[in-house]
Amino acid sequence: MSQAMHRLWKYRYLTLMLLPTTIVIILHSYLPMFGVFIAFKNINYIDGIWRSPWVGLDNFDFLFSSGSLVRITRNTILYSLVFMVVNLVASVAFAVGVNELRKRWLARGYQSLIILPHFLSMVVVSYLVYAFLHPEHGFVNATVLRWLGEDAIYWYTEKGYWPYILVLVNAWKGVGIGAVIYIAAIAGIDPEYYEAAVIDGASKWKQTIHITLPSIQAIIIIMTILSMGSIFNADFGLFYQVPQDSGALYPVTDVVDTYVYRSLMKMNDIGMSSAAALVQSVVGFIMVILTNWTVRRINPEQALF
Amino acid sequence: MSTSLNNRARPRTRASRRENTLSPLSGALLNAAFLIVSLACLMPVVLVILVSFTHGDAILKNGYSFWPEQFSLIAYTSIFKDYGTVAGGYAVSIGVTIAGTALSVVLMALFAYPISRGDYPYRHAFTFFLFFTMLFNGGVVSRYLVYTQLLGLKDQYMALILPLLIVPFNVIIMRTFFQTTIHPALIESARIDGAGELRIFFRIVLPLSLPVMATMALFSTINYWNDWFNALLFITSEHKYPLQYLMMRVLNDVQYLRSNVELAAQNPELLRDLPNESLQMAMAVVGMGPILIVYPFFQKYFVKGLTVGAIKG
């Protein structure tokens, strides 16, 4: 006992250093964790959080039976999967291509340009998209479609186009930054493999298939599995701000994050939104644990914990 | 830190790839493909910049175009004349970004250092305490209620700063950096010379860790500058809007009025006061301006920081 006290005293300065951050983490992360009990309450502002009545699983019942859950779950997961595949293929292709460029200044230039979108906020991105899709003046309607002699399309009310637009915007924003890690991985491949391949007469294509891709296979698998961990999380900005919260587009743009936000801030339905948010947190938790378990089985070095 | 992409690639280029290059035709095709992709990344930004300098009449005639017929600065003059709010938004964004970044780097370092010390007995407990927040979170509703009801942060600048203060993954990167760069013998010898823990941290550890501090400051600056979601949740008074949120409001208000023709018909003055098209795009330029200006200088360090983080310890 006194030994424990002694240890506590000996390291008191280190503990003191930790303390402010610990408080911040408690306030920001741990209090809301304990706050998930509101999903089991019928919160009203008159009674306040503590005295509002418990309603058990009513909020969840409502969420399941309203049919919203099916829609937002389908949208969230499908978009996540498509984003994952599209961005992976494009990032790896970009990384492989950049590595073949002989002029390094060109490679650096291309890389600088393609990661630029990553640094723009989703609000800025929504302006950029708007500049293209504005119903009267947008570049697509006013220039492209006019040239082609086609009628203008009212982009913000036609939901058929949005799955493609969202995938495109997401790739535009994410491929460059996604490629960075693959470029680093490819740069780390032992050049002797390529030398040997050249002696054996392997073409560039063969080298890519048989040397480059297998060498970065491990990192590709890890990155993919890691993104599986966030499959039930959507980029709120992409789905809310880029389509400008247009009601006509909800069937294809409504994801868990936008749904939670809308039920909380617009409809003031704390019960429903907290139920949806809790479902998201729990699914997220399970996915991360599963993911890490899988990574550990493939390559313990890469596991997060 | 030496994982600079270009440094690694260079020796290979010189030594062994001389005979292993693409044929001139494939090389040209590859370059063409990259040129197109790079332009695709740049052109939307260019379009918005060009439109912001285009006269309203030309927009009405030709729409947003890459070939502006009538050049005009009117959007910018009206932004800075009539829209004192824009200047206000800038001030809020700059203030929040500076305060947030400074606090964030200090707090993360203060946490990362003790858990990096092999002799600190509680390091596992605190690491897990941090790590668990990456696994599970209370969700946005719970956080909203805690912030507004419990902490009283509704409409407070603190509500913009607190959420982005601690990025667990970045703390882990910092810890790894301390572990691999600061040799325990160094700390030991400083202690023998009579330095206390705080002195060791501020006089020895921090000066040796400037690269990782700079990287974290960069990450944090971008995070704060580009954040608008927390403003959307918590900020209600207009004079406290950060720039990104202000931009969002402008775009959404325009959209809202457009889609509610009746409302607009009853209140013609609303439509008249509506920022015109080039003005909206000027808003976008104003919003991304600082990023575009410093981008060429910082992107190298950002890439470096990312690859450091990727090689996890």
Q: Of chain B residues 133-152, which have a CB less than 8 A from chain A? A: 133-146, 149-151
Same structural domain for residues A48 and A87?
Answer: no
Angle between helix A68-100 and helix A104-115 axes, rounded to 10 deg = 170
8 Å CB contact of B133 and A195: no
State the average pLDDT for chain A: 84
ipTM above 0.90, yes or no: no
Q: Of chain A residues 39-58, which have a CB less than 8 A from chain B? A: 39, 43, 48-49
CATH (domain of B118)? 1.10.3720.10
CA distances to A101, A130, B12, B311 from B7, rounded to whole Å, are 15, 40, 10, 17
8 Å CB contact of A264 and B140: yes
CATH (domain of A163)? 1.10.3720.10
Same structural domain for residues A52 and A89?
Answer: no
How confident is the model at residue B274, as a pLDDT?
Answer: 53
Among B307, B33, B303, B21, which Cα is nearest to A99's? B21
Interface test with chain B among A18, A240, A244, A269, by most B beta carbons within 10 Å:
A18
**Three-state DSSP class for A41?**
strand
Over residues A190-213, the mean pLDDT reads 84
**Which amino acid appears at position A72 of this protein?**
I
Tell me how far apart the alpha carbons of residues A292 and A304 are, in angstroms, rounded to a whole number.
6
Q: How many domains, chain A?
A: 2
Same structural domain for residues A73 and A51?
Answer: no
How confident is the model at residue B113, as a pLDDT?
Answer: 92
**Cβ–Cβ under 8 Å, residues B303 and A115:** yes
Same structural domain for residues A65 and A33?
Answer: no
Q: Of chain B residues 213-252, which have a CB less than 8 A from chain A? A: 222, 225-229, 233, 244-245, 247-248, 251-252
Same structural domain for residues A90 and A210?
Answer: yes
Domain stops at, among A9, A38, A56? A56
Number of cross-chain residue pairs from A and B with Cβ atoms under 8 Å apart: 310
**Three-state DSSP class for A54?**
strand
Lowest model confidence (mean pLDDT) among A59-68, A283-292, B6-15, B83-92: B6-15
**Residue A61: band (very low, low, confident or very high) from pLDDT cuts 50, 70, 90:** confident
Q: Which domain, by its residues, includes B82? A: 75-305
Residues in chain B, pLDDT under 50: 1-18, 310-313
Tell me how far apart the alpha carbons of residues B222 and B216 are, in angstroms, rounded to a whole number.
10
Same structural domain for residues A125 and A260?
Answer: yes
Q: Is the model's pLDDT at A59 over the cut of 80?
A: no
Q: How many domains, chain B?
A: 1
**Three-state DSSP class for A118?**
helix
Same structural domain for residues A105 and A138?
Answer: yes
The verdict on pTM exceeding 0.80 is: yes
Same structural domain for residues A173 and A96?
Answer: yes
Residue in this structure with the two tokens 């460059």, named with its chain if needed: A176
Q: Which domain, by its residues, includes A282? A: 60-302
Residues of A in contact with B25 (CB under 8 A): none
More confident residue, A304 or A161: A161
Residue B196 falls inside a structural domain: yes
A83-116 confidence digits (pLDDT tens)? 999 999 999 999 888 888 878 888 888 888 888 8
Same structural domain for residues A20 and A155?
Answer: no
More confident residue, A300 or A124: A124
CA distances to A63, A184, A251, B285 from A70, rounded to whole Å, are 9, 40, 11, 39
8 Å CB contact of A32 and B143: yes
Residue B167 burial (C-beta neighbours within 10 Å; 0-12, 13-18, 19+): middle
Residue B21 falls inside a structural domain: no
Same structural domain for residues A43 and A64?
Answer: no
Residue B32 burial (C-beta neighbours within 10 Å; 0-12, 13-18, 19+): exposed
Same structural domain for residues A212 and A84?
Answer: yes
Q: Is the model's pLDDT at A24 over the cut of 80?
A: yes
How confident is the model at residue B112, as a pLDDT?
Answer: 93
**Cβ–Cβ under 8 Å, residues A281 and A36:** yes
Give me the percent of chain A exceeding a pLDDT of 90.
14
8 Å CB contact of A204 and B280: no
Same structural domain for residues A88 and A165?
Answer: yes
